[in-house]
Structure formats: C-alpha cells, structure tokens
Amino acid sequence: MENTGCSGQCAFERAAEVEFRALTESVRELKDRMTRLESALARGTALLVANLAGMVVTLVGQVLG
C-alpha cells in the first residue's frame, strides 16, 4: 500500500532545504566580501603605482637638474 502522508523523507528534505539556503547565503556573503577585497586591492595597487611613478619622476628630475 502506498503511503501518501509525509514521512521522515519529507523532514529530511525540509532540513536539507534550510541548510542549502543557509549555504547559499554564506556563499553570497563570501562573494560580496571578495568583491570588496578585490576593489580595495585594486585601489591600493593603483596608489602604489602612482607613488612609484612620482618617485621616478622626482629622481629623474634631480639627476637631470
């Protein structure tokens, strides 16, 4: 005879769905953090390059001047 009621499998599926949603949210949060980290790293790299370029220009100016 077929059981049409909800069994332990239904409870397992609901628990798995809740865990999957939590995992999805955690992955989304990690992705947001990585995006912010990449942005900060890009800004830092740009500032470093600009500072190095300024130092090169200053040193060349002192050597030529």
Higher pLDDT, 12 or 46: 46
In the DSSP assignment, the letter for residue 7 is: -
Distance separating alpha carbons of residues 46 and 25, to the nearest angstrom: 32
Percent of the chain as helix, strand, coil, to the nearest 5: 90, 0, 10
* Distance, C-alpha 7 to centroid of its chain: 39
Instruction: Compute the chain's Rg from CA coordinates.
Output: 28
Q: What is the model's pTM?
A: 0.65
Question: How confident is the model over 18-34, as a mean pLDDT?
Answer: 96
| Model confidence band, residue 39 (pLDDT cutoffs 50, 70, 90) | very high
User: Could you tell me the pLDDT band of residue 3, with boundaries at 50, 70 and 90?
Assistant: low
